[in-house]
Amino acid sequence: MRSRRLRRAAVGATAFLVATGLSACGANGDSTTAESNLPTVVASTDAWGSVAQSIAGDQAKVTSIVSGASADPHSFRASPSDTATIADAALVVYNGGGYDPWIEDILTSHSNVNSIDAYSMLDKAAPDEPQPANEHVFYDLGVAKAVATTIADRLAKIDPAHSSDFHSRAADFNRRADAVEQTEYAIRSTHPGAAVVVTEPVAHYLLESAGLTDKTPADFVDAVEQDTDPAPVDIAAVIDLITGREVAALIFNDQTATAATRQIRDAAQAAGVPIVAVSETLPAGTDYLKWQADTAARLSAALQQDR
């Protein structure tokens, strides 16, 4: 699944630039803003930036490199100012797993930067379960909780005076994440094994938590992940599942829509199959947990329509 990310990152267009005005860091990477003397936390995307903000409160400055519902994290290319911002950060939080290789490249060149790789938290979130190679770990609440706890631990070392605040916020974040997980588990109980198809396996971990069956043909998924057009036979196979009402919902990533995925969406609309839109960055006016809760709630409601 990772080759698509690497190629898109290499050839993609410019995304959003981060705020400027961050001061240079010392040899130990403990950066502060010029205005407020707060530690700076830089996240690769606003999903992880929101998690970091939940822990930092007003005791650290959090900046997200890629943000906004119209942004495509796959096609991002870091600018020199982005590189400087990352190199100057007290703490960097990124997705990992080949999802944001541009930031991994920067960190390789700045090995002294204190960083957190969310993808590496998969084993901590579920140590007894083999993990699939799906990089969209921002839809895994267990990973998000592990990242939140690690952010609190790192910030506590950077700013010991506010250690209790950081850990208290992490505990609150994790409690609220538990409540969202309960919504996902409720889907598992109410719609055990319900079948869906996806235009891209972005919400893989949500579907896994909800106990749903992804019936998307493997060749279709492989083509999408390799950033190539699925073969007509594979598109037809997905549409057949929809028109034959063999699936209860279509999970549609509208941030990376293509002619093929729009064709599938149109087929679902014509067949009356519920469509659940998912995204890779935060919708306007929300935060990480609200975003995850809303997506789970819309998935639950869509499955209810099919009963």
Instruction: Please say if the pLDDT value at position 31 is more than 80.
Output: no
The pLDDT assigned to 27 comes to: 38
Q: What is the mean pLDDT of residues 167-179?
A: 98
Place of tokens 């319900």: 194
Tens-digit pLDDT profile for residues 41-64: 999 999 999 999 999 999 999 999
Tens-digit pLDDT profile for residues 183-199: 999 999 999 999 999 99
Tens-digit pLDDT profile for residues 260-298: 999 999 999 999 999 999 999 999 999 999 999 999 999
pLDDT interval class at 84 (50, 70, 90): very high
| 223 C-beta neighbours (distance < 10 Å), count | 18
Q: What is the mean pLDDT of the chain?
A: 88
- Assign domain 2-182 to its CATH architecture: 3-Layer(aba) Sandwich (3.40)
pLDDT interval class at 96 (50, 70, 90): very high
Domain boundaries, the chain: 2-182, 187-305
Q: Return the top range by mean pLDDT from 10-14, 21-25, 216-220.
A: 216-220
Report d(CA 189, CA 222) in Å as an integer.
30
Q: What is the mean pLDDT of residues 160-175?
A: 98
DSSP collapsed to 3 states, the chain = CHHHHHHHHHHCCCCCCCCCCECCCCCCCCCEECCCCCEEEEEEEHHHHHHHHHHHCCCCEEEEEECCCCCCHHHCCCCHHHHHHHHCCCEEEECCCCCCHHHHHHHHHCCCCCEEEHHHHHHHHCCCCCCCCCCCHHHCHHHHHHHHHHHHHHHHHHCHHHHHHHHHHHHHHHHHHHHHHHHHHHHHHHCCCCEEEECCHHHHHHHHHCCCEECCCHHHHHHHHCCCCCCHHHHHHHHHHHHCCCCCEEEEECCCCCHHHHHHHHHHHHHCCCEEEECCCCCCCCCHHHHHHHHHHHHHHHHHHCC
Tens-digit pLDDT profile for residues 104-161: 999 999 999 999 999 999 976 555 555 567 999 999 999 999 999 999 999 999 999 9
Percent of the chain exceeding pLDDT 90 equals 77
Report d(CA 208, CA 299) in Å as an integer.
13
Domains 2-182 and 187-305 share a fold: yes
For residues 33 and 22, the answer to whether their CB atoms sit within 8 Å is yes
The pLDDT assigned to 36 comes to: 64
Superfamily of domain 187-305: Nitrogenase molybdenum iron protein domain (3.40.50.1980)
Q: What is the mean pLDDT of residues 245-255?
A: 95
The pLDDT assigned to 12 comes to: 39
The pLDDT assigned to 10 comes to: 38
Instruction: Please say if the pLDDT value at position 15 is more than 60.
Output: no
Q: How many CA atoms lie within 13 A of 276 on its CB side?
A: 28
